[in-house]
Amino acid sequence: MDKFDLQRIKNTLNDCPLFQHIDDAKLQTILAFFTLHTLEKGTLLLSPEQPNAYLYLILEGQLSIHLSDVNTPPISFLNSGDYVGEVSFIDHQHPSAYVLASQKSTVVRLHRRNLPQIYDVSPIIHHNLLRILCSRIRSGNNSLLHSEQNAHIDSLTGIPNRRWLEYAFQRERQFCLDRNAPLSMIMLDVDHFKIYNDSHGHLAGDLVLQFAALLLREQLRPHDSMARFGGEEFVVLLPGMTLIEASHVAERLRYCLASLKQLPNTQPVLPSVTISLGVAQLSADDELSDLLNKADKALYEAKQQGRNRVCLYQQK
């Protein structure tokens, strides 16, 4: 590389983690092992289908990262000063994603075979590479944690979903059985929701579900569990509460919506809704499906009796 290229690289990579704590003389020696390349837009740089032996540093332009296919939307972009390929460069495995030039770009690359020589010039490169890899691992772990958390949250209402309910039930069931304490469930349904959607539109229906979820959650204790079960149905777990105590909570939930004439802060003004609720108490040998079935039967009875009311499941 000529002096102009070398100076440009040194300026671009001044803040790059790979070159931290390396003086100019050693940096110039190290950069002699890199080769300069121009990538046309659409050039495929890394692929899970091909092994990779290079570490790439971006001088100009932009690269895009794609997971399952180059034709899928990119999950991220890399710009000047970023690096890519470092994991497969180190572990001799295929890359985990596709990387291509999303615009005309300039990169420098280092072949794996030159690593021992670079370590001889400045052993701190080895330390910097380890820090980069650790950062990638932590980032990956955080992404997994974020994905796992999102998998348990209903995207519309922001409260836990049915999948999370299975976990919450097992936790609360064991907690109550160990302490010989009751556990009750409320299953509730927004009355005439389909008619509301047809009359006011699906966006209005979404607002109703969001508002109901927020308002109902505020009526519960911090350690109570509420989840969107599906559609316009919600489920509440009440640890430590008997059937009668849970029925009082259910009545409070019913009233907080029934007492409203319209949704607050909506334009145009939207009417409020009512809910029907079924309440059931856990028996010692009940699984989640058993308790859900009991609460659902009570909910059905509430609908049969005219809706906007609470019914209890009575063991026959």
> Could you report the per-residue pLDDT of 117-151, keeping only the tens digit for each?
988 888 887 788 777 777 767 766 665 555 556 67
- Tell me the CATH number at 266: 3.30.70.270
Is residue 91 domain-shared with residue 173, that is, in the same domain? no
Mark whether 99 and 188 lie in a shared domain: no
CA distance 43 to 100: 5
Q: Same domain, yes or no, for 167 and 283?
A: yes
Residues 235 and 166: beta-carbon distance below 8 Å: no
**CA nearest 172: which of 235, 257, 238?**
238
Name which residue leads in pLDDT, 315 or 224: 224
- Single pTM value for the model: 0.60
pLDDT in tens, 226-280: 999 999 999 999 999 999 999 999 999 999 999 999 999 888 899 999 999 999 9
Is residue 157 included in any domain, yes or no? no
Picking from 104, 126, 150, the residue at the C-terminal end of a domain is: 150
**Final residue in a domain of this structure, among 118, 150, 182:** 150
Grade residue 75 by pLDDT with cuts at 50, 70 and 90. Answer: confident
Whether residues 43 and 85 fall in one domain: yes
State whether 171 and 298 are in the same domain.
yes
Assess whether pLDDT exceeds 50 at residue 4. no
Count of structural domains within the chain: 2
Check whether residue 56 and residue 166 sit in a common domain: no
Catalytic: which of 232, 233, 287, 301?
232
- Shared domain for 71 and 176, answered yes or no, is no
Residue 48 counted as domain residue: yes
CATH number assigned to the domain comprising residue 145: 2.60.120.10
| Domain boundary residue, one of 150, 179, 206 | 150
Confidence at 3, pLDDT banded by 50, 70, 90: very low
- Total residue length of the chain: 316
pLDDT in tens, 171-219: 999 999 999 999 999 999 999 999 999 999 999 999 999 999 999 999 9
Using CB atoms within 10 A of its CB, is residue 187 exposed (0-12), middle (13-18) or buried (19+)? buried
176 and 114 in one domain? no
- Indicate whether 63 belongs to any domain: yes
Confirm whether 232 is a catalytic residue. yes
| 156 lies in some domain | no
Domain span at 191: 162-312
One domain, residues 220 and 170 = yes
User: Judging by beta carbons within 10 Å of its beta carbon (0-12, 13-18, 19+), is residue 225 exposed, middle or buried?
Assistant: buried
Q: Alpha helices, DSSP H only, in the chain?
A: 3-12, 24-31, 86-91, 115-121, 124-151, 162-178, 193-200, 202-218, 243-258, 288-304
Query: Residues 225, 290: one domain?
Result: yes
Query: Residue 254 falls within a domain, yes or no?
Result: yes
155 domain residue, yes or no: no
Structure token digits, residue 294: 């009991």
pLDDT value of residue 185: 98
- Residue 28: predicted pLDDT: 81
